[in-house]
Amino acid sequence: MDIDFVRRQFPALNRDFIFMDNAGGSQVLGKVIERISGYLTHHNVQLGASYQVSREAGEKLAYATKQVSKFINASRSEEVVIGPSTSMLLRILSLCISNQWQRGDEVIVTNTDHEANVSCWTDLKEKGINIKIWKVNPETLELELKDLKALLSKRTKLVAVTHCSNILGTINPIKEIAKMVHKAGALICVDGVAYAPHRQVNVIELDVDFYVFSWYKAYGPHLAVMYGRYNQLYKMNGINHYFFKKKDVPYKFQPGNFNFELTYSLLGLTEYFQEMFKHHFPQIATIPFQKKVEKVYEVMASHEEELSGILFQYLNSNPKIRIIGSRFSNQIKRVPTISFIHSELKSDEIVEQVDKYRIGIRFGDFYAKKLIQDLSLEEKSGVVRVSLVHYNTKAEVDRLVWAFSKIL
């Protein structure tokens, strides 16, 4: 990967600071920033009016939404629901879909997920929905399919699972999980927040019913997207005004509409992938957009694997450090979101010492509270988390390792 080309696309990287809290929020592409400014300058009007600027704004936003649907390989743009955050979109989904369920129906959640894909479902206990918890194996720190199979029943309506843990970094076999869930007659809802910055999201290939992630953790603005199968979205009642009908997909799930300038700015992200492909594969003739995205993510994944390998080598060499999750760099099994604890120091003590080196990392539970509790890591102030992305460099990782060597 041409790291110099990549870093030129992110204005915030032109400063003396190392960003390694990317799972909390990535830096934003310059093209995204330009699109926000451009929309507010030239098309900041309400949609649906007869005058020219309003018509142009509507066309631009429809095009942006269509490009987003292509980016995740949805079958139609109506399957794309735009909202302010993953937490809000999942809350909206839980409120709307649960109106179709009966007392005694069941939902399965995991103890590895961010609360965004947990509390919105566990709160349905008030409606008489039974909640089952699919727990990670405490030895392997992986979700095992045999445990899910034991939890599934004729009353299971939905399984909520993360594509990738924001603490463990583990990539879960969503396609295989979806097959098992569908065989049981249930739906699957996937939180892809920790996955989308690192790997391609292909909802048709994964065969999921709902898939949600936040753009601000994937090089875009503070905005989120939820994919939903059209037939599932259609038959739900939404939460918008009473005069919106079942056919008003996705607007019935978007009270107050989506944010116009931020939605339009997503074109900057899709353009980035186009240019990344053109720059790295000039010899390849025209191929479908989804294939371009796939190849770009492959380049990113290889670079990230190399970066995380440097960090893992150091962490594994220190007997006082316990890595929480897979202990080795492997782009098939994990992303470069790496968590650990120290036998003597609390996690907050470590991070606060790293701060003086102008390196941004973080400690805590990262809203995956149930995992931290079940692994008895609260007394350590949670984990130290280093979250790398493709714009990080070998030199940056080397500097972090050097800082750790002074502290740990």
Specify the pLDDT at position 285: 82
Q: In the chain, what are the helix, strand and coil shares in percent, each to the nearest 5?
A: 45, 15, 40
Per-residue burial over 187-208, b = 16 or more CB atoms within 10 Å of its CB, e = otherwise: bbbbbbbbbbbbbbbbbeebbb
Q: What is the pLDDT of residues 249-273, one digit of tens each?
A: 999 999 999 999 999 999 999 999 9
Residue 345's pLDDT band (cuts 50, 70, 90) = very high
H/E run at residue 226: strand 224-228
Average pLDDT over every residue of 287-302 = 96
Amino acid found at 240:
N
Specify the pLDDT at position 183: 98
Specify the pLDDT at position 286: 87
Cβ atoms of residues 360 and 370 within 8 Å: no
Cβ atoms of residues 400 and 311 within 8 Å: yes
Across the chain, mean pLDDT equals 97
369: burial class by Cβ within 10 Å (0-12, 13-18, 19+)? Answer: middle
CA distance 249 to 274: 29
Q: What is the pLDDT of residues 26-45, one digit of tens each?
A: 999 999 999 999 999 999 99
Query: What are residue 170's DSSP bridge partners?
Result: 334
Average pLDDT over every residue of 178-188 = 98
Task: Report the share of the chain in percent with pLDDT over 90.
Answer: 100
Specify the pLDDT at position 298: 98
Cβ atoms of residues 9 and 287 within 8 Å: no
Q: What is the pLDDT of residues 377-408, one digit of tens each?
A: 999 999 999 999 999 999 999 999 999 999 99
pTM, whole model, 2 decimals?
A: 0.97
CA distance 207 to 18: 37
